[in-house]
Amino acid sequence: MLVIIAALFSGLIFGLGLILSGMINPAKVLAFLDVAGSWDPSLALVMLGAISIGFFAFRWVRQRGQTLLSMPLHLPTSHVIDHRLILGSLLFGIGWGLSGLCPGPGLVLAASGQLAGIIFVIAMLAGMAVFDWLEKYRNTHLDHSQQKNIGK
Amino acid sequence: MIAMIDWQAFTPVSAFSGGMIIGLATALLLFVAGRIAGISGIVGGLLRLQRRDFAWRAAFVSGLLLAPWLWRELGTLPPVHIESNYAILALAGFAVGIGTRYGSGCTSGHGVCGLSRLSPRSIVATVLFMLMGMAIVYVVRHGWE
């Protein structure tokens, strides 16, 4: 129960941080990505601010090896830089550059009632659903010898 | 191609403090739930409707969606300017949906949490989506030339 309450507050605080930082304004994000135009470096400071806290938080929790409630941590373990990571990130970059929106700001913008945010989020959820469907298809249509070569 | 900083638009204080608040939210989820605050991963997991992990994911997203409502209770939301038309927004959303799931993360999961963890995968992902975002904006705004 405590985990659920913490998650709710974490989401709320995260969203407030996104609003304060200016990340929910697509024009501001695009102004950061527009390095050849009149450049707004604000977004770099958003990342720096978040990482300045996150760096110590992750270090501390890793040393501890468990959560405050003595539950196991769920941190990514993979170190493989594969085509999935590369192509997925490039595709995300295309969408981000076209709209100035990434998942978090998109959701907050949609929740604020902006039609642009709602359209973006519906399309994003559709993209995620298509991904799940493709994964399912791939997993059921590959034989075992092929499956061994995928993933790790 | 050297960037000309737009000092009028630059908002260092709200950007850095907003970033620190995002960092605090990340730390809270990490310390109590032991989870990475990656929005695309959390939302993607919700879509799969697995009973395990559903509750905390739903709680996190609910909190995120409540943020603009709480902000409005206390003041007014900052102005938002949308440059893309609805067709482009839909195309972009679709690309973000597939891309973040295929690449296992977005600006929060790879960008904030991954860079904080000094994860090589996340460093590669963040550099790639930033460069691609910049390339797309360049083409859209300044053409192929």
The 10s digit of each residue's pLDDT in A19-59 is 999 999 999 999 999 999 889 999 999 999 999 999 999 99
HEC string for chain A = CHHHHHHHHHHHHHHHHHHHHCCCCHHHHHHHHCCCCEECCHHHHHHHHHHHHHHHHHHHHHHHCCCCCCCCCCCCCCCCCCHHHHHHHHHHHHHHHHHCCCHHHHHHHHHCCCHHHHHHHHHHHHHHHHHHHHHHHHHHHCCHHHHHCCCC
What are A83-105's pLDDT values in tens digits?
A: 999 999 999 999 999 999 999 99
Angle at alpha carbon of residue B104, lines to B66 and B108, rounded to 5°: 40
Nearest residue on chain B to A125, alpha-carbon basis? B97
Is A132 in contact with B47 (Cβ distance < 8 A)?
yes
Q: Chain A, 32-51: which have a CB under 8 Å from a chain B CB?
A: 33-43, 45-51
> Which of B26, B70, B103 is opposite residue A92, by nearest beta carbon?
B103
Query: Over chain B, what is the mean pLDDT?
Result: 95
pLDDT given at position B3:
65
pLDDT given at position A140:
87
Is residue B52 scored above 50 in pLDDT? yes
Which of A28, A124, A125, A150 is the best residue to mutate to test the B interface, defined by the most B CB atoms within 10 Å of its own CB?
A124
| Mean pLDDT, residues B56-76 | 97
pLDDT given at position B47:
93
What are B93-105's pLDDT values in tens digits?
A: 999 999 999 999 9
Local confidence band at A152 (pLDDT 50, 70, 90 cut-offs): very low
Query: Over chain A, what is the mean pLDDT?
Result: 93
Is B142 in contact with A36 (Cβ distance < 8 A)?
yes
Is residue B135 scored above 70 in pLDDT? yes
Is B19 in contact with A38 (Cβ distance < 8 A)?
no
Check residues A46 and B7 and name the one with the higher pLDDT. Answer: A46
Put simply, whether B50 touches A (Cβ < 8 Å) is: no
Provide the CB-side half-sphere exposure for A30 (13 A, CA): 22
Percentage above 90 pLDDT, chain A: 87
| Mean pLDDT, residues B108-133 | 97
pLDDT given at position A141:
82
Put simply, whether B41 touches A (Cβ < 8 Å) is: no
Tokens standing for residue A47: 């990342």
